[in-house]
Structure formats: C-alpha cells, structure tokens
Amino acid sequence: MNNYKIIEFQSHGDNTGKLISLERGGNIPFDFKRVYYIYNTKKNTQRGFHAHINLKQVIISVSGSCVFALDDGMQRREVMLDNPARGLLIKGLIWREMKEFSDDCVLMVLASEHYDIDDYIYDYKAFTRKVNEKK
Ligand code: TYD
C-alpha cells in the first residue's frame, strides 16, 4: 500500500517541555488550507467510514491515542496514532476508519483543501468501484 506514509517530526525539547512545528512545504509536503481536530470522542465509538477523492491529509494524535485503519481496496493496515511527533500522511484513494479512542485523544488533521462534501465517498462499494476505475 503506497498511498500513505508515516512522517517523523523533529521535537524541540528541553527540560521545560517539548515543541513541534509544522510547516507547509517543510515537514508537511503540501499546502494545507484547513486544520481541524477531532476530540471528546465517546467511548467505543468509531468514526470515519469514508474515503476522499482528491484530499491530502496529515493526521496527528496531539494527545492520547486511537487506531487508524486504512484500506486501499486491496489491503488493510492499522496504524496506532499515539505520538505527537508522528504524522500519518494520506495522499490517495484510501478508505479510513478510526477506533479505540482514548478519553484524552485529540486528533489534529491538516488538509490540502477546504471542506467539500463532494470530495467524500461514504459508500464502501462506490469506493471499490472508484479504485477499479483508477487502475
Ligand atoms: P464528519 O466528517 O461526519 O466527521 P466524522 O466522520 O469524524 O464523524 O464531520 C462532522 C461534521 O462536521 C459534519 O457536519 C461536517 C462538519 N465538518 C465541517 O464543517 N468542516 C470540516 O472540515 C469537517 C471535517 C467536518
């Protein structure tokens, strides 16, 4: 599966704490137009269950943890997001599901485009059809 990548961010730390900086064209390899965060997710809930047609995203668990499942129509991978110094870059047609959120989980998402409902695919069968079109 090559539509995703883990990016390691440099953490600037000293004995007072840590800081990570995100820069477009630097450690974030696209021009992001939008940042949003997912938090206060209720116990045992799952989120996502969609794919994007054109959107690029970097997803970072700035607090707590969750499991992020990626599916490209052929293979499925699960990535544990539990480290603010690590970003999950998704740049292609990938079905996403998120689960096992810790109470303190805050997922920050940098997105290459403004919110556009027409970029979403919410039906898994429609997603696999789109994957096959692109082959
Ligand atoms: P949704 O995509 O359903 O989130 P999830 O799949 O994680 O449950 O988004 C929830 C609501 O927020 C929905 O009404 C659309 C709105 N929303 C925006 O207005 N802007 C955004 O950038 C995003 C991601 C969602």
pLDDT tops 90 at residue 121: yes
Check residue 24 and report its DSSP letter.
B
Average pLDDT of the residues of the chain = 97
- 115: pLDDT confidence band, cut at 50, 70 and 90? very high
pLDDT above 90 for 134: no
Exposure string for 109-133, b = 16+ CB within 10 A, e = fewer = bbbbbeeeeeeebeeeeebbeebee
The torsion angle over the Cα atoms of residues 88, 55, 69 and 80, rounded to 10 degrees, is 20
* Ligand 1 atom 2: residue of nearest CA: 48
Residue 135 reports pLDDT greater than 90:
no
User: Ligand 1 centre and the CA of 115: distance in Å?
Assistant: 8
Give the position, in ligand 1's atom list, of the atom nearest the Cα of 114.
22
pLDDT of residue 101: 98
Q: What percent of the chain has pLDDT over 90?
A: 94
CA of 124 to the centre of ligand 1 (A): 18
Amino acid letter for position 19 = L
Is 50 in the active site? yes
pLDDT of 126 above 90: yes
Answer yes or no: are the C-beta atoms of 9 and 87 closer than 8 Å: yes
Position 124 scores a pLDDT of: 98
Closest-CA residue, ligand 1 atom 17, reads 115
Report which protein residue has its CA nearest ligand 1's atom 22: 115
Pairing of strands 34-38, 106-111: antiparallel
- Report the atom number in ligand 1 closest to the C-alpha of 36: 22
pLDDT (tens digit per residue) in 33-72: 999 999 999 989 999 999 999 999 999 999 999 999 999 9
Q: Which two tokens stand for residue 47?
A: 């989120």
Mean of pLDDT values over 91-101: 97
